[in-house]
Structure formats: C-alpha cells, structure tokens
Amino acid sequence: MTHIDRTTSPLAPEQRLGMPATLQAPEVDDPARWAAEARGELHTALMTHGAVLVRGLDLRTPGDVAAVLGQLGVEPVVEREAFAPRQRHSPGVHSSSAWPPNQPMCMHHELSYALGFPQVLLFACLSEPTTGGTIGLADSADVLRTLPHALTDRFERTGWLLTRSYNGEIGATVAEAFGTDDRDEVESYCDAHAIAYAWQPDGGLRTEQRRSVVVRHPADGQRCWFNQIAFLNEWTLAPEVREYLVDEYGSGGLPFNTRYGDGEAIGEDVVRTINSAYAQRTVSLPWRAGDLLVIDNIRTAHSREAYEGPRDVVVAMAAPNGPDTCSPTIEV
C-alpha cells in the first residue's frame, strides 16, 4: 500500500494554510497506482492549500502524466482558445505554451477567458532547467484583498475585455486556437461561447470577449480574483517586444490585449498595480525533475521565471467549469 510521508503531509502542523502542501511519495515503479491510492489525501490537500507539490514520483514521460491524470477522477479538458501553440500528447495533456525562455510569464489563471476553463491543473517536470524557470504561486483570494478597492470595484462593474488578432505569424493560429480553420465551425464556436468576431480582408480573424474578473469558488463560495487582465495586456510585454508589435500590427491589431469591459484602455499604472499585488502574494518553487504540481486553477494563480538550459514541463488540464462561473454576459 502506497503511503505518504507524514513529515510533509498537508495535515502536518508546520504546513501553513494558503501555502503549497508538499507530499513525499515513496519509491514507486507505477505513478498511476500511487495516484489511485493517494487520490483522497491529494484532493484534501488541494482543497486545503490550493496547490500540492508531489515529490518522489519520478515522472519521465507525458504518458506517465496521462496515467496519473486518469487516476484522479477528473474529466480532461480539451483546450480551445490557446494564446500560444502547444503540442498535444493525449486528451488533456499538452506541452507548455511556446513562450520565449528569456521572457517571464507573469501571474495568470489558465484559460480564465474561456467558457469551460479547467479547475484542476497538473504540471509535471520531466527535465529541470539549468538556471531559473521557477514557478510562482499566488492565492487569488488574497490577491483580491490586496488590490485597491476602487480598482476592483470598477472591474467588477464592467468586467474585462480580451481582444485577439489571429494573423498566422504571432501567437496561436486560428486552427491551433479553435481546433479547425473552417470558418463556419469557428463562427459556430464563437457564437456558442460569447465571442464577437470579424474576419479581416487578409484572411485574419479578430475577436473580443467580455468576462468577469471575480468568481466564487464552487467549493466554499470564496471570492477569487480570476482573470488574465495583466498577463495578456500590452504593458506586461517587454518594452522592445511591445514596440515591435505596435509598429508591425498597430495598437488595434496586437495578437492579444485587454481592456476594461466597457472598452476603455487599461493604463500601464493599473497593470503595474495588479502585478505588484501578485508579487506581494507570490510563493516560488524551484523544479526538480520528476516533480508533480497539482493546482486549483480558480484559487491559485501561477507564473514562470525566465530560464536557461533544457526545461520540459508537461501540463494537464481537467475538471471543466461552465459559463455560469464565468458570467460572460455582464451588463455594462
């Protein structure tokens, strides 16, 4: 029978609420069997802490990750509306987003702009980077309490708007984002998911969608700051990258950008305030090869530092939420 080392159990007294729990798995030759036996305690730790780091599983392949996911009793999520290309390994299991290693990824909640976003994320480190690449975690309820009330009140009244331009050059293509490049199928998807769209003369596609900034956690009703306002905003880009994209595509044709839900531009100061609130609440975890990190995607935001050297982190998404959680039809 697989056991969990109680010195690092999520119930151990040295573990603080709101911090990632650490579970130490014994030496096993079958990570899926461990997941089946430890599923109950893993679920309890995730509900208590919002994130759980499992060490000792020696995960080596995407197949190992898929096998673990299959034992957790959660439905895999088929990703749609990806902002960057991924390699699909199996249902719900993907490579990390293609993002330059010298560019950090700031705090965000995976697919928070999509209806049917995943509530559970699994990150498996198959090989660790030479330097950097640390993953950051932040409790979204704490972030909401840290942000200025006037700012959150405005966003709660208007929601947030995500605009995207699919140009076939930067970011995900139409086919990569929607699983097809058939116009009728893309339009049907957009109509069903509260996304406004316009095809461009050059064949490109522009979309916009309005979502709520705060959602209530389905388990306890806790209000969580849940969005990608800062992550997908132009002011989070490195200055030289933003300058290039604006020169190349114009301010209205950026691959992605965010605005207030009423369409007004978000200032650099607002993005800085949001990222500062995340920074105040961030806990950083260095990767070790074989690690498994399980995240409650509603409660916990995540980020990634820049890194050097080989780094292979596989991502699995599961437990889809419906449109009632996203409140996609906020009245403005």
E strand or H helix at 42: helix 31-49
Mean pLDDT, rounded, for 26-44: 89
- Same domain flag for 244 and 153: yes
Is 237 a member of any domain? yes
In this prediction, residue 15 carries a pLDDT of 43
Helical axes 31-49 vs 62-70, angle rounded to 10°: 70
Is 165 a member of any domain? yes
- Same domain flag for 167 and 235: yes
Domain span at residue 251 reads 143-275
In this prediction, residue 329 carries a pLDDT of 61
CA-CA distances (angstroms) from residue 100 to 88, 120, 331?
Answer: 19, 25, 37
In this prediction, residue 331 carries a pLDDT of 54
Given pLDDT bands bounded at 50, 70 and 90, which one contains residue 109?
Answer: very high
Express each pLDDT in 280-301 by its tens digit: 999 999 999 999 999 999 999 9
User: Which percentage of the chain shows pLDDT scores above 90?
Assistant: 70
In this prediction, residue 7 carries a pLDDT of 36
- Same domain flag for 211 and 307: no
Is 330 a member of any domain? no
Alpha-carbon distance of 157 to 332, in angstroms, equals 7
- Same domain flag for 271 and 313: no
When divided into structural domains, the chain yields a total of: 2
The CATH number for 13's domain is 3.60.130.10
User: Which percentage of the chain shows pLDDT scores above 70?
Assistant: 93
Is 331 a member of any domain? no
In this prediction, residue 166 carries a pLDDT of 93
- Same domain flag for 268 and 218: yes
- Same domain flag for 265 and 298: no
Three-state secondary structure call for residue 198: strand
- Same domain flag for 75 and 151: no
Q: Which residue has the tokens 């699994």?
A: 122
Mean pLDDT, rounded, for 149-165: 96
In this prediction, residue 14 carries a pLDDT of 36
Given pLDDT bands bounded at 50, 70 and 90, which one contains residue 103?
Answer: confident
pTM of the model: 0.90
- Same domain flag for 162 and 236: yes
Express each pLDDT in 308-318 by its tens digit: 988 899 999 99
Instruction: Tell me if 288 sits within 8 A of 55, measured CB to CB.
Output: yes
Is 241 a member of any domain? yes
Given pLDDT bands bounded at 50, 70 and 90, which one contains residue 256?
Answer: very high
Is 138 a member of any domain? no
Is 106 a member of any domain? no
- Same domain flag for 269 and 298: no
Given pLDDT bands bounded at 50, 70 and 90, which one contains residue 1?
Answer: very low
Instruction: Tell me if 110 sits within 8 A of 297, measured CB to CB.
Output: yes
Instruction: Answer left, alpha or beta for residue 298, where phi above 0 means left and psi between -120 and 50 means alpha.
Output: alpha
- Same domain flag for 269 and 315: no
Mean pLDDT, rounded, for 254-282: 96
Query: Poorest-confidence range of 12-21, 86-95, 98-107, 138-147?
Result: 12-21
- Same domain flag for 122 and 162: no
- Same domain flag for 159 and 258: yes
Is 215 a member of any domain? yes
Mean pLDDT, rounded, for 176-191: 96
Query: Poorest-confidence range of 75-79, 106-110, 263-267?
Result: 75-79
